[in-house]
Structure 1
Amino acid sequence: MSVDTEGTTAGADAETLATALGEAITDLPEYQAYLDAKADVEADEAAQQRIEEFEQVREEYMVAKQTNRADESDLDALKDAKRRLHALPVMKTYLRSQAALESRLQELDELISEPLAVDFGEQAGSCCQD
């Protein structure tokens, strides 16, 4: 085999393995729990209302901050909206499932990165490094 053929074969093998990894991740219990919790949040009227409230307060805070008019009360309102959103049982479940999935993906990232000279997840997720 020539160098080009070997490179192509290795590239195809890496792509096949990456596809298989993605498919395997969708079978993880943490991923399934995350999808279930996400669907529950999307179907919960109270959660959707609190999300809208939080997004509105956050947008108002960002505008105030960009115009140098944000003060402590604006930040307090944002923190309060976030606290009220996260206090909902359905959001607590969602946030726990999200953290569990992120932890599991971090473990996989470490396994992938072990033989590499770079952090796979960090390199894959960013366009530029300082």
Structure 2
Amino acid sequence: MSVETASLEDLGRELGEKIADSPEHTAFREASEAVENDAETQEAIKEFEELRHQFMLDREAGTADRQSMREVQNAQEELHSMPLMEEYLEAQEELQTKLEAVNKAISEPLAVDFGGEAGGCCQD
């Protein structure tokens, strides 16, 4: 491994550590742990996932209707309105915004978007 490669890898590790220590990541990690440790929120997540799963099965079978879709939407709205979920979703959005800014900063001098979807090389 060349000195330049090792240096770039070291910079990558340092960047990862800085992101992990950022206020945005800390807030996201804390919000995630709060959601994971709250029985009421976990029950709401379970109920939403069950409704969503059943709706997907019904949709595949061609038996889904607007009422079942509304039930899923209502369950999601109720879940997202729970205080811990609101905090989690806000922290997630703030972390995503920070990571997009970091991606832009890395990609800009390279004229490459490494965070975007991978595409094939040299296609017409």
Question: TM-score w.r.t. structure 1 length?
Answer: 0.86
Q: CA deviation at 1:65?
A: 1.1
For residue 68 of structure 1, what is the aligned residue in structure 2? 62
Distance 1:12 1:28 in 2: 24
The structure 1 residue matched to 2:45, chosen from 41, 51, 60, is 51
Q: CA deviation at 1:18?
A: 1.0
Alpha-carbon deviations, 1:26-64, whole Å to 9, x = none? 110010000111111111111000000011001001101
For residue 85 of structure 1, what is the aligned residue in structure 2? 79
For residue 28 of structure 2, what is the aligned residue in structure 1? 34
Number of residue pairs matched by the alignment: 121
Give the aligned residue type for 1:49: E
The structure 2 residue matched to 1:11, chosen from 5, 27, 43, is 5
| Stretches of structure 1 lacking an aligned partner (at least 5 in a row) | none
Runs of 4+ with >3 A deviation: 126-130
Question: TM-score w.r.t. structure 2 length?
Answer: 0.90
Distance 2:118 2:114 in 1: 13
| Stretches of structure 2 lacking an aligned partner (at least 5 in a row) | none
